[in-house]
Amino acid sequence: MTVEEILHAHDLKNTGCRKYILGELLKSEVAMSENELKESYPDLFDRVTLYRTLKTLEDRGIIHRIVLNDNTVKYALNRHHHEDDNFHSHFHCEKCDEVLCLDGVTHFDAELPKGFVSREVFVVVEGLCADCVKK
């Protein structure tokens, strides 16, 4: 899908900031932080516009956030899972800092207290990617 098709499918206006963020995420195979997103054009959008746009895209289910152990937040397109999935896992390379959405099912069983209901589960697997292992 193109940026315009994604925005149209989610009934969103075709703004410059939305187009830019989605364009960057479409080009990338890995999740990106706010700094990585604006790296090419650091002064293109003010901070408030960037945050509001990320929040809108997340609320509409176009992107999702990944919070790493050091509280760094990265964003990725919702290419690899469906909105009705309540489980999504990622791989974070501790050396190069890349974050990938994992395909397939990662098994996770949590015994919740009586009456509790899980809504979502996010798992981040920490380790080294294949390229960093070779180095």
User: Per residue in 21-64, pLDDT tens?
Assistant: 999 999 998 999 999 998 878 788 888 999 999 999 999 999 99
Distance CA 58, CA 76 (A): 10
Is 93 annotated to bind ligand?
yes
Q: Chain-wide mean pLDDT for the chain?
A: 88
What residue ranges define each of the domains in the chain, with the CATH number in brackets? 3-134 (1.10.10.10)
Dihedral (C-alpha) 133, 104, 124, 132: value to the nearest 10 degrees?
10
Is 132 annotated to bind ligand?
yes
| Vertex 123 angle, CA 134 and 85, to 5° | 120
Percent of the chain with pLDDT over 70: 91
pLDDT at 43: 83
Is 82 annotated to bind ligand?
yes
Is 92 annotated to bind ligand?
no
* Reported pTM: 0.83
Distance of CA 6 to CAs 19, 38, 57, 100, Å? 10, 20, 10, 21
Is 96 annotated to bind ligand?
yes
Q: Is the pLDDT of residue 73 over 50?
A: yes
